[in-house]
Structure 1
């Protein structure tokens, strides 16, 4: 798995926002964080992009909800979305200042 992760580093997309304006965007670090997950570096992934785990949970739940149509699935997805947005914005503010 580490070999795959090392190969993925060659195909990571550059952040055009950071390239043009010199500051991180709201998604900066997500690719590297996912790469850390593939390498088994779970703490490093959390430090790189704190919303990585909640995003994975949200997308996994979304896929399950599309398959099984949970009764209150839309509320859970909306809650997870709100939590993710909060984590991403707070992380952006902390990194920026």
Structure 2
């Protein structure tokens, strides 16, 4: 019950996109906060629709935190791979979003 209440109140504290407010267009990070909330609620398909990189960013963050406490073999390679994959997904998603907005 407390988790549900936390998730509902979390939506009330989301930061607005400064880029969208100033320039009227989405930034590459638009949708990330809502995607995290959807992910935490268990709505994985909606989280992916909102921000596809969520499924590479969450493992990247979790691995980065875990690697602060535990040594992993090839940890730098794993972080680099997840980072490049996440960045690539973010860029492709942003380009697709921007090209679909203009048509």
TM-score range, shorter chain: over 0.9
Superposed displacement of residue 21, structure 1: 0.9
Superposed displacement of residue 77, structure 1: 0.5
Number of residue-to-residue matches in the alignment: 97
Question: Structure 2 regions of 5+ residues with no counterpart?
Answer: none
Which digits, 9 at most, give the CA deviation of each residue in 1:20-55, with x for residues without a partner?
111110100000011111222111001000011110
Q: Does 1:6 align with 2:8?
A: yes
RCO greater where, 1 or 2, for CA within 8 Å and sep 6 or more? Answer: 1
Question: Structure 1 regions of 5+ residues with no counterpart?
Answer: none
Over the residues paired in the alignment, what is the CA RMSD in angstroms?
Answer: 1.1
Residue of structure 1 equivalent to 2:45: 43
Q: What is the TM-score normalised by the length of structure 2?
A: 0.88
**One of 51, 68, 92 as aligned partner of 2:70:** 68
Superposed displacement of residue 2, structure 1: 3.0
Which digits, 9 at most, give the CA deviation of each residue in 1:44-97, with x for residues without a partner?
001000011110101111122222222311011011100000000000000000
- State the 4+ residue runs in structure 1 displaced beyond 6 angstroms: none
Q: What is the TM-score normalised by the length of structure 1?
A: 0.93
